[in-house]
Amino acid sequence: MAIVGLEVAASATALPPRNDGGGALLALGITFAGGLQKWQSWLVIHQLFREWLGEIENLLFPQSCAGCGEWDTALCPGCTQAIGGQWSPACGSIPALSRVIPVSQLREGMDAAGDSRLPFPVWRLGTYEGVRRRAIISWKNQLNRELTARIIAQMRQRGREVAPIFLDNNLTEVALVPAPSRSRRKKEGLFVVGHSAQGLCEGLRDGGVQASVHDILKIEENVTDRRAKAGAISCSTPQAPNAPIVLVDDVLVTGSTLVGCARALERHDGRVCCAFVLAQQEKMNTKKKRRLKEQVTGLQLVRNALSEQKKSKNGL
């Protein structure tokens, strides 16, 4: 068999060259393979160069934890856990979102005349204060890919936790719609609501829910008044998703953004089933609390001074 093979090989070498382009294709393949190897080498060099630049950047501009300020980390483990929080219903006053319950819909023994109710459930990870507040502010105002990746991972984990609730309520398919943001923020990579929706969507998929993100809401660029924000939101597509819609926002204050999103989607036949926010701001913000504390302290000093003055008079 080996002799036959040798004879065939010898006869093949003796054949005249063919003009079918085979040699040209072979040469082209060799050239392509060589170019591919060079390209792969350049990719390796490029990756090493990026890592080197990253090290130089960390030396010149060392990063710190967005929550507590610890050096050499975008978000330390403790602050990561604190920001993750736990899902809980939004509570307190949400004036723009609350609706007075009609008398015909009052539940006996549960509702009273004049009570208000949210048009759809709103869930939050925690209150807008402390570590969570500092991290969200840093995330919204400074491009930090590592911080973005950490928070997306946290949102993915929280999405896995809430997925069984969706399945128990026959919500096997949902459309996540992030609240709108300025076009400039999107171009600069600061679309934090979109990143949050992405992480939540991945977590829901991990839990068996068919979830998808639809960035279809937009807001007028020149609107700055919070009260006018609801009327400045519109839908960029003629038809909203057919699946139940889950709104995603960063901070819940009065609920005007969620109201504007829900109305814009309803005008395009969309149906909002619930909303998720990273944090809810309490009715009284930190500055007002500090001011009230100073006022109380001042009143206490006045009260103490009057008390001392009264004692001195009685002593005389």
Name the least confident of 124-133, 247-256, 284-293.
284-293
- The number of beta carbons lying within 10 Å of the beta carbon of residue 203 is 23
Going by C-beta distance under 8 Å and a sequence separation of 6 or more, which residues neighbour residue 269? Answer: 239, 240
Asked if residue 164 belongs to a domain, the reply is: yes
Which domain covers residue 90, as residue numbers? 86-102+109-286
pLDDT digits (tens, 9 = 90+) for 32-83: 555 556 666 666 676 676 666 655 655 556 678 888 888 878 889 888 888 8
- Would you state the structure tokens that stand for residue 216, as one six-digit string? 């279809």
Asked if residue 138 belongs to a domain, the reply is: yes
Asked if residue 118 belongs to a domain, the reply is: yes
Name the least confident of 103-117, 150-164, 183-197.
103-117
Instruction: Name the pLDDT band for 93 (thresholds 50, 70, 90).
Output: confident
Q: If we measure between CA atoms, which residue out of 95, 93, 81, 163 comes closest to residue 126?
A: 81
- The number of beta carbons lying within 10 Å of the beta carbon of residue 28 is 11
Whose structure tokens read 């619930």?
274
- Counting the structural domains of the chain, the total is 1
Enumerate the H helices of the chain as residue ranges: 2-14, 22-60, 77-84, 130-141, 145-168, 183-187, 192-206, 256-266, 286-315
Please tell me the pTM assigned to this model: 0.70
- Would you state the structure tokens that stand for residue 82, as one six-digit string? 């604190």
Residue 60 — left, alpha, or beta (φ > 0 → left; ψ -120 to 50 → alpha)?
alpha
Whether the Cβ atoms of residue 199 and residue 159 lie closer than 8 Å to each other: yes
Asked if residue 137 belongs to a domain, the reply is: yes
| Residue 226's CATH number | 3.40.50
- Would you state the structure tokens that stand for residue 176, as one six-digit string? 């996540």
Asked if residue 72 belongs to a domain, the reply is: no
Asked if residue 244 belongs to a domain, the reply is: yes
Asked if residue 229 belongs to a domain, the reply is: yes
Asked if residue 303 belongs to a domain, the reply is: no
How confident is the prediction for the chain on average, in pLDDT? 77
- The number of beta carbons lying within 10 Å of the beta carbon of residue 243 is 19
